[in-house]
């Protein structure tokens, strides 16, 4: 049964309960009345009649009270039921509203989570792009540095060799400590750069007080840079010269020396192309 059917049934039962109560009251009252109407002895015994009437009134009053308070109880029950129905309806409405709010909150949370995920993905993508850009920049910087070093090496290779004033000072300071000897400056013919470099050496050696003999010509083999030829009597002098050239930064490797034992006092500095 549904709610309306149960309410109708309750109303019907209450109505018949009232009718039954009235019937009981009438029946009890009729019983006492009939007793005194039809029983002569009962009418003559006043005390019995009084007691019977008293208890009959009490019974009748109890039945009537039961009817009255039963009706009021039904009214209160109905009122309470209506209040309960109202509260249940309100609770259902509030529950439905809370459910809607929860659903909205869930959707907002899901949307926020999606936004956060997208933002985190965007940050990750940006970091990846930044890392890639940094890698490209590092590669470009390395390439530029390699090109710069290569260019410097090329420029150094192409730049003419000269003896600077500071290099001259270093060479002179070392050679002045030793006795003055004669040195032959041999310049490979046909290379202007080598000729200019040799003229610087001629100036340095003369300023240091050495006797310089300048020669030019060709030599056998692919000679490059600075080398020397010496007799066994000038080995110590060529070592001093080599140290002076190295201190001035004009050579970085040991000075190549060719022995000439036929001329013990011979010392020659050979200036070949770079």
pLDDT in tens, 80-115: 677 877 887 888 888 888 888 888 988 888 888 888
- pLDDT tens digit sequence for 140-164: 899 989 989 888 877 767 789 999 9
pLDDT at 199: 95
Token pair, residue 188, equals 């490979």
Q: What are phi and psi of 149, to 5 degrees?
A: -65, -40
Percent of the chain past pLDDT 70, that is, above it, reads 84
What local confidence, expressed as pLDDT, does residue 248 receive? 94
Distance (Å, whole) CA 14 – CA 81: 15
| Between 63 and 139, the higher pLDDT residue | 139
pLDDT band per the 50, 70, 90 thresholds, residue 35: low
Mean pLDDT of 169-196: 89
From CA 60, how far away is CA 28, in angstroms rounded?
A: 7
pLDDT digits over 209-257, tens only?
899 999 999 887 667 899 999 999 999 999 999 999 999 999 999 999 9
Question: If you count them, how many residues does the chain have?
Answer: 274
Taking the alpha carbons of 41, 43, 44, 48 in that order, is the dihedral positive or negative? positive
Q: CATH fold of 165-271, please?
A: Alpha-Beta Plaits (3.30.70)
Q: Measured between alpha carbons, how far is 171 from 244 in angstroms, rounded to an integer?
A: 5
Q: List the domain boundaries for the chain.
A: 3-104, 165-271
Query: Would you say residue 43 has pLDDT above 80?
Result: no
pLDDT above 80 for 5: no
DSSP letters of the chain? --HHHHHHHHHHHHHHHHHHHHHHHHHHHHHHHHHHHH-HHHHH-HHHHHHHHHHHHHHHHHHHHHHHHHHHHHHHHHHHHHHHHHHHHHHHHHHHHHHHHHHHHHHHHHHHHHHHHHHHHHHHHHHHHHHHHHHHHHHHHHHHHHHHHHHHHHHHHHSPP---HHHHHHHHHHHTTS---EEEEEEETT-HHHHHHHHHHHHHHHHTT-EEEEEEE--SS---SEEEEE-GGGHHHHHHHHHHHHHTTS-SSPPPEEE-TTSTT-EEEEE---
Q: Which tokens hold the place of 117?
A: 């995920």
pLDDT higher at 148 or 42: 148
Contact 185, 269 (CB under 8 A): yes
Order the strands of the 182-188 sheet from edge to edge: 211-217, 182-188, 267-271, 226-230, 257-259
Query: Span 13-19, mean pLDDT?
Result: 72
Question: What is the chain's mean pLDDT, rounded?
Answer: 83
Q: Which residue has the higher pLDDT, 181 or 36?
A: 181
Nearest C-alpha neighbor of 272 from the set 237, 211, 220, 209: 220
Give 6's pLDDT tier (boundaries 50, 70, 90): low
pTM of the model: 0.46
pLDDT at 58 over 80: no
């Amino acid at each position: 049964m549904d709610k309306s059917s149960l309410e109708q049934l309750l109303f019907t039962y209450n109505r018949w309960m009232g009718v039954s109560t009235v019937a009981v009251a009438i029946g009890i009252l009729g019983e006492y009345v009939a007793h005194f109407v039809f029983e002569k002895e009962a009418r003559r015994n006043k005390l019995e009649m009084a007691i019977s009437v008293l208890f009959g009134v009490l019974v009748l009053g109890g039945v009537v009270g039961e009817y009255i308070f039963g009706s009021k109880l039904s009214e209160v029950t109905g009122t309470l039921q209506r209040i309960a129905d109202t509260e249940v309806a309100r609770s259902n409405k509030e529950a439905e509203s809370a459910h809607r709010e929860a659903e909205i909150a869930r959707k907002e949370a899901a949307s926020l989570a999606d936004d956060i995920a997208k933002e985190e993905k965007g940050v990750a993508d940006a970091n990846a792009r930044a890392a890639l850009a940094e890698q490209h920049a590092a590669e470009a910087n390395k390439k530029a540095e390699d090109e710069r070093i290569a260019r410097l090496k090329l420029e150094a290779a192409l730049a003419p060799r000269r003896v600077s004033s500071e290099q001259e000072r270093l060479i002179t300071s070392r050679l002045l400590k030793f006795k003055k000897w004669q040195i032959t400056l041999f310049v490979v013919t046909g290379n202007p750069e080598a000729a200019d470099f040799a003229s610087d050496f001629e100036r340095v050696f003369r300023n240091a007080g050495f006797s310089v003999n300048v020669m030019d010509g060709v030599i056998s083999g692919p000679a490059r840079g600075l080398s020397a030829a010496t007799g066994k009597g000038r080995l110590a002098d060529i070592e001093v010269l080599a140290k002076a050239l190295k201190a001035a930064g004009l050579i970085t490797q040991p000075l190549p020396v060719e022995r000439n034992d036929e001329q013990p006092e011979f010392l020659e500095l050979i200036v070949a192309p770079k």
